[in-house]
Structure 1
Amino acid sequence: MNRTLIMVFLLSTTVSTAQEIIKLWPTDKIPNRIVTNEQEKHDVEGILRISQVQEPTIEVYLPSKSNATGKAMLIFPGGGYAILAYDWEGTDIARFLNGKGIAGIVVKYRLPSSASQTEKHNVPLIDAQRALRLVRSRSEEWNINKNEIGIIGFSAGGHLAATLGTHFNEKVYAPIDAVDTESARPDFMALGYPVITFGETTHGGSKGNLVGENPDTGKVDYFSNEKWVSENTPPTFLLHATDDQSVPVENSLLFYQALKERGVSATMHIYPKGGHGFSLARNDVHLRGWTERMFEWLESLD
């Protein structure tokens, strides 16, 4: 084997072992699960779209130890609570974070389904709480500071992140092991073009998929996250485009106002153009600067 082939082999080995996929739950102890014939689906049309998730996981991407800052971010891809834009708003984000020395951990959370779940509206939050606790429980192993574990979510994934950031103390499932003794509170959170409210300026698809087409007022209020901000809500970075036609920019404005009123540190970047679902925005010279703004914000938290 010549030197070139050896280098290719070593590089491929490094890449393949740089990530680890871990189940959130023992298969026989997944909360709110109904065993059905539903099977997880993967569709690739430019973006990997995952639907009908049956066994939620975290996919762990770690930077090299020499570059690691000790920070980690759990990543919640969007998709209207119908699918997960798993690479576009998930694994691509994780790799990008690694370049800044931050561990990127993609959460493949269950999507609400009456066929395979009881109380489906609680299921994404159940998985989000467990994911945060699981990462915190393994922080030493992964060279992560236990008190520097944040979250980032996009669109409906931003709604889930905001729900975790405001409802981290809610007891939405019965503890099953030592992992569940860990705190589910994120230390900071970043929300990209997030669904925040289930009020007038909501995204109808996300709302309908999570709580149904004609939900009672209790569920609408519970998942209108601007109503649940407290002094314990984590410091927050908000990102949105004014011309977003899917999730109105008012969602981020509502959350920013709620954070401000309760004295929570908040940073918001509103861009005039960008639409919805732009992820890293690598092809937009102006918009793609949001990532550097986020890294600057993270450093300001130290």
Structure 2
Amino acid sequence: MLSQFVSEAQDERIPLYPANAIPNFQKTSEVEKRDTTGTLRISLVQQPDITVYLPTRGIATGQAVVICPGGGYGILAYDKEGTDFAKWLNAKGIAGIILKYRLPNSKSNLVPHQSPLLDAKRAIRLVRANASKWNIHPNKVGIMGFSAGGHLASTLGTHFDAGDPSAKDAVERISSRPDFMILAYPVITMSKPNTHEGSRNNLIGTNPTEEMVKLYSNELQVTKETPPTFIVHATDDKGVPVENSLSFYQALKTNGVPAEMHLYPKGGHGFGLATGQGYLETWPDRLADWLKSIK
């Protein structure tokens, strides 16, 4: 019976919100698009969800990671920066939960910049609400993000809330603070010259106010309550300058937040697991070590 449960739990897709209760949403003629040429690329997300990959109970550590694929806030690189890592985490005894979050360039958003963070908060709450069912410890739920997904993960880590105790939906009463963060070649700042223009334009527009730039420049939003963080980046990244990670690491250090950063001289942008890329492909081993070390 146990093995049957685990098998059924693999690749279980769950809507983030109850039917007809998606916040910041309006129905339009748009439909979700999936491009399967090469890696799976998802765009125009209308119904956000999580897909749950669980390890076998015999090796489960109780940790869980909500994974935010990148794609410049325009698409989601769902396989390379989602499914691949969920399966890698499972092999380490960790639940991997892929977040298919709404993208701000969809007309279905009432306020475009709000939807990704709303979905990330909801994903953390939903995992904690199902922690017992999925053999997860509710205080071992982290977030992982790649590129623009790293911006979303770092936004959650600096803009979380304790939950709404008066909410009718019990899930909304749960804290959205991740217990740890994993950021791979992340977009961090919305300030020039180091921002990623595509992510910035999609999230806050081509002519944002200074207030919006500051709000989503997450190196400026770190506090002592920001969760412990693991960062990996390549120095030769031409898409998202390494200064994004450097500034975030410095902000974590200044605020006394435990942080580990690994910088590689070569690797470019979007290397994912970095399979076949020399010693860069050992970076997930460093992550595995770190995940074992955090409390």
TM-score, length basis structure 2 = 0.95
Q: Name the CA distance, whole Å, in 1 between partners of 2:211 and 2:162.
A: 15
Stretches (4+) displaced over 4 A:
13-17
Contact 1:48 1:86 in 2 (8 A): yes
Aligned to 1:286: 279
Contact 1:240 1:269 in 2 (8 A): yes
CA change 1:72–1:135 in 2 (3 A) is: same
Aligned residues: CA RMSD: 1.9
Aligned to 1:3: none
Query: Which of the residues 135, 140, 151 maps onto 2:127?
Result: 135
Aligned to 1:275: 268
Larger radius of gyration: 1
Aligned to 2:180: 188
Contact 2:131 2:137 in 1 (8 A): yes
Residue 38 of structure 2 is aligned to residue 23 of structure 1: no
- Cα deviations by residue, 1:82-139 (Å, 9 ceiling, x for unpaired): 0000011001110010000000000000001352111110110000000000000100
Aligned to 2:292: 299
Q: How does 1:135-284 map to 2 (within 5 A)?
A: 135-169=127-161, 175=167, 177-200=169-192, 201-284=194-277
Residue 46 of structure 2 is aligned to residue 54 of structure 1: yes
Cα distance, 1:45 vs structure 2: 1.9
Contact 1:98 1:104 in 2 (8 A): yes
Q: Name the CA distance, whole Å, in 2 between partners of 1:16 and 1:145.
A: 20
CA change 1:82–1:170 in 2 (3 A) is: farther
Q: Name the CA distance, whole Å, in 1 between partners of 2:249 and 2:6.
A: 41
**Aligned partner of residue 27 in structure 1, secondary structure:** coil
- Percent same amino acid among aligned pairs? 57
- Cα deviations by residue, 1:202-257 (Å, 9 ceiling, x for unpaired): 00000000010001111110000000100000000010000000000000000000
TM-score, length basis structure 1 = 0.93
Residue 74 of structure 2 is aligned to residue 82 of structure 1: yes
Query: Which of the residues 95, 115, 121 maps onto 1:123?
Result: 115
Cα distance, 1:185 vs structure 2: 0.4
Q: Name the CA distance, whole Å, in 2 between partners of 1:14 and 1:218.
A: 46
Instruction: Note the residue ranges of structure 2 that are not aligned, 5 or more in a row.
Output: none
Residue 135 of structure 2 is aligned to residue 108 of structure 1: no
Q: Name the CA distance, whole Å, in 2 between partners of 1:272 and 1:144.
A: 36
Contact 1:202 1:251 in 2 (8 A): yes
Matched residue type, 2:92: K
- How many residues end up aligned between the 2 structures? 291
Q: Name the CA distance, whole Å, in 1 between partners of 2:128 and 2:23.
A: 20
Matched residue type, 1:55: Q
Q: Name the CA distance, whole Å, in 1 between partners of 2:107 and 2:136.
A: 37
